Each structure stands twice: as structure tokens, then as C-alpha cells.
Amino acid sequence: MNEKQLIEGCRKGNRLAQKELYDTYSRKMMGVCLRYVSDRETAQDILQDGFVKVFTSMGSYAGIGSFEGWMRKIFVNCALEFLRKIDVLRDAVELDYTNEISGHAHSVIAEMSANELMKVVQELPAGFRTIFNMFAIEGFSHKEISEMLSITESTSRSQYTRAKQLLQRKINDLL
């Protein structure tokens, strides 16, 4: 089945279409879930919740834009919903003074594989990892992040900066 047929089949509740959609996208969406939580079992739970929402919300996909992008938003929102429940940002603080990542760290990052970099990102504290993923990987603005997580824009910026600093230290430790 092509993507259009899969979508139509899922809208009609066709189990074969749902299975094929799951088989086609579950690996990519698991990657999204793992960017927000480092525990594989929790990521698997978020993945399952995400697919349930995809299947129940299929009627809201208007066919405009990327279907995979539409799905990705659902999975990001499921991960954020989970993180809000466990209140990962309760200790978030604003920073007035921050350091930039050195040029040396940029060159080390360029030489790292995606899996190596992902492993280092997963080691970040949950709040830092969440903001880092939303800004650096998903492309949300600090304004959007602040609205989605009910924090100030400056808290989003400072958490992102602190995440970059911690990543820099972790990468330098690998040298």
C-alpha cells in the first residue's frame, strides 16, 4: 500500500493498514520518543500511546504537508505530556550568565556518529534534554517551547544554554 492507501485504510479502521503503518513508522517514531526519555521501556509506552492517538486522530489529518511530520508532532506531544506529568521542569531556573560552546567542541561533534551524539544527549537531565530536543532537533522557537511547557522564554533559553554547556563537558570528557 502507498501512503495515501495506508491513511485511508487506517481511517476506516482496517487492521492490516494499521499494522503496516506501525511497521513503516514505528522505528522512526521510537527515535523521537527516545530523544525525550532515555528509558527504553518508557519510550515504548510513549510510542504505543502515540500510535493510539495517530489512529484515533487520523480524521484530523487534512492531507496537507507531510504525513510523517504530522505524526511526529503527535509523538512529540505524547512525550511532552508524559514529561509534564512527571514535572521535569520543576527545577528549571533562569540564567543570566552563559558560556558558548567552544569551536573545539563543534569539531568533535562533527566527527561523532549520530548514535554517539544521541547517547550523550540521552544522558542529559530530563529538563535539559527536553528543551534541547525541542529547540535544536524539532525546531521549535523558545516562544513556542515556553507556551507548550508553561515556562518563560528566558527559562527555555537558559535551559537550552545549560544543556549545550553540559553536552560540551560530556563531549570533552570523551576526548
Lookup result for grid cell 530536543 = 133
pLDDT at 106: 47
pLDDT digits 0-9 by tens, 96-128: 434 444 444 445 555 666 677 778 888 888 889
Cβ atoms 130, 88 nearer than 8 A:
yes
Domain positions in the chain: 3-85, 103-174
According to the CATH classification, is domain 103-174 in 3.40.50.10880?
no
pLDDT at 167: 87
Instruction: Give me the percent of the chain exceeding a pLDDT of 70.
Output: 84
What is the average pLDDT value for the chain, to the nearest integer? 84
**175: confidence class by pLDDT, cuts 50, 70, 90:** low
**93: confidence class by pLDDT, cuts 50, 70, 90:** very low
Cβ atoms 129, 137 nearer than 8 A:
no
pTM recorded for the entire structure: 0.74
CA–CA gap between residue 175 and residue 171 (Å, rounded)? 7
Question: CATH classification of 3-85, choosing from 3.40.50.300, 3.10.180.10, 1.10.1740.10, 3.40.50.1100?
Answer: 1.10.1740.10
- Full DSSP string of 78-117: HHHHHHHHTTTTTT----S---PPPHHHHHHHHHS-HHHH
